[in-house]
Amino acid sequence: MENFVLENPTKIIFGRHTIKSLGAEAAALGRKAILVYGRGSIKKNGIYNDTNDSLRAAGLAVVEHGGVKSNPALGFVREGIELARRHNVDMVIAVGGGSVIDTAKAISAGAVVEHDVWKFFSGKKGVTSPLPLGCVLTIAASGSEMNGGMVITNEEKGLKLGAGNKKLCPRFAILDPGATFSVPPDYTAYGAVDAISHILEFYFTCQGENTGVQDRFMEGLVINLMEACDISLLEPHNYPARANLMWCATMALNGWVSAGLGWVGFPMHMIEHSMSAIYDVPHGAGLSAVIPAWMRWQIGRNPAKLAQFGRRVFAIAATDDVEAAGQGIERLKSWFVKINSPTSFVGLDIPRTAIPALAANSQTQAKIWRLREYDQAVVSEILGLIP
């Protein structure tokens, strides 16, 4: 295990009917908030009224910025920044999933600087003193509710890039599993895939040795995510399953999993970002196609770790590492198929002729994230393994 510093400033408020605590938590951050949310689902399931009632009961003034879409857009972030400045807000409140929270983070970082917010994502500027952020989570997926990362799509440039800074960690995050009861089956599945992908990035790319504790932790999270997702798809209002799904997804990317692993990379995310940037596919859907292909490409490079995953997560009995690795990949892919998450270009409605363009597009993120091994030829090779 490598040396590490583990610090996470986000206060988690977890459980039934916890949304009512939003006002009191937000009031500790200021008096005027910009409320960021998606395209209407929270108005249908009652969460919009609950959040607004709680904020206003605490005496907060609220400026609304609704309409965040999946693969959140830079233009919408810029509009939010201008709105926050015009109304001189002193905090940002996000009510939604990863796309909403990432948008809120970008607004909180961009509202206090003179330069364009995209410079954070292109690596030209660092986050300094963002507006304080609080959030109410409505979908188990990205883990953005308890980390400092954010991903935004620049539609003009056709780029989806990620950036991060610990100062972007939400001050608090309210996690009420009941708020996810109305998440439709496809996004329940995509969220579980996204959470699993975070774990697999750490599990397979870490450079540290003697990572037994973290390995078992990650394997357990993957098993629990699959089990909770299966139950949630069959019984959408099953509170224990939704609770397990939500908390596992949060832990997958809050720093606990990666502690002691040394250097890690996020190549699967880097590749998928191009799919979302060019074809606007849901992030989790793109990942379920990329993950098996990337793992297959890895067999010749790290068969022992892939075999360990297959044996521990899927009880693969094969003694040969390459065989065990291959069987484990197929079992994971079969689970993606079971939950109706795409595993092919056809399923994503992307033509195979797009592989060169996807590979070329990935290079901006590869450079920023210093994934030097993943040049255009290598990314094309990985994409070529997607059926």
Classify residue 270 as left (phi > 0), alpha (psi -120 to 50) or beta: alpha
Residue 322 DSSP SS3? helix
Give me 266's structure tokens: 């996020």
Give me 343's structure tokens: 């595993």
16: number of Cβ within 10 Å: 11
Q: For the domain made up of 184-383, give the CATH fold.
A: Dehydroquinate synthase-like, alpha domain (1.20.1090)
Q: Could you tell me the pTM of the whole model?
A: 0.96
| Domain range 11-179, CATH architecture | 3-Layer(aba) Sandwich (3.40)
Which class for 237: exposed (0-12), middle (13-18), buried (19 or more C-beta within 10 A)? exposed
Classify residue 30 as left (phi > 0), alpha (psi -120 to 50) or beta: left
Query: For residue 357, which amino acid is it?
Result: A
Give me 53's structure tokens: 């009632």
In sequence order, what E strands does the chain have? 11-14, 32-37, 61-66, 91-96, 133-137, 149-154, 159-164, 172-175
Residue 77 DSSP SS3? helix
Residues of the chain with CATH 3.40.50.1970: 11-179
Tens of pLDDT along the chain (387 residues) come to 899 999 999 999 999 999 999 999 999 999 999 999 998 899 999 999 999 999 999 999 999 999 999 999 999 999 999 999 999 999 999 999 999 999 999 999 999 999 999 999 999 999 999 999 999 999 999 999 999 999 999 999 999 999 999 999 999 999 999 999 999 999 999 999 999 999 999 999 998 888 999 999 999 999 999 999 999 999 999 999 999 999 999 999 999 999 999 999 999 999 999 999 999 999 999 999 999 999 999 998 999 999 999 999 999 999 999 999 999 999 999 999 999 999 999 999 999 999 999 999 999 999 999 999 999 999 999 999 999
Residues of the chain with CATH 1.20.1090.10: 184-383
